Amino acid sequence: MQKIKLIDLGLKDYNETWSYQEELFKEIVDIKIDNRKNNLNAQTPNYFIFVEHPHVYTLGKSGDLSNLLLNEEQLKAKGATFYKINRGGDITYHGPGQIVGYPILDLENFFTDIHKYLRFLEEVIIQTLAEYNIKGDRSEGETGVWLDVGTPFARKICAMGVRASRWVTMHGFALNVTTNLGYFDHIIPCGIKGKTVTSLEVELNRKVPLEEVKGKILKHFIELFEVEFDI
């Protein structure tokens, strides 16, 4: 059974966390390159980072900057930062009250299928929501987890965007738990017009402890990916 090192960074600056992800990512890739070059078989590590970010907007490499509806001054006034980054997907928001998960995995330890990997991440969130009697769903052609798909009330509760190179993943998912959804008003989330966002708190009409939700996410991640967490 594969082991994954669990790292909980608490509340941490986006740029610092991105650099840290890159370090872990490079560590795994370097081992794989060395293995191939020297015909070795050294085991690659796997990591899973939990983090909350201060207010930040991030734009994926294929994203459209016009989906950010604030200029530099307005960003500053909102206490938010902005980064163009190297994951898939368009624009999204991260902030306090949102559980962000960055699995940095060598998929050759699991399965070499990015599509399957994204579906598994979605399934982890879908099963977590089910524990709160919320029916999460996939929306055709729109990565992430949605509620009331196919109705005029469709709303996104979890955004996803990953990067993979040499079958090593980084970036991941962002689940709105007690997030201030007002910050989403300043972007066209994921570049999808006319769809709203929601959170666990809004859906349940009560506060939900982040640690409780993290525990459920880990439980379903363990079941689906058949792993052990090394804490």
Query: Catalytic residue positions?
Result: 190
CA 82, CA 63: separation in Å to the nearest integer?
13
How are beta strands 56-59 and 2-11 bridged, if at all?
A: unpaired
Spatial neighbors of 61 by CB under 8 A, at least 6 apart, are 84, 85, 86, 87, 88
| C-alpha–C-alpha distance, residues 151 and 196, integer Å | 12
Angle ∠(173,48,225) on CA atoms, nearest 5: 85
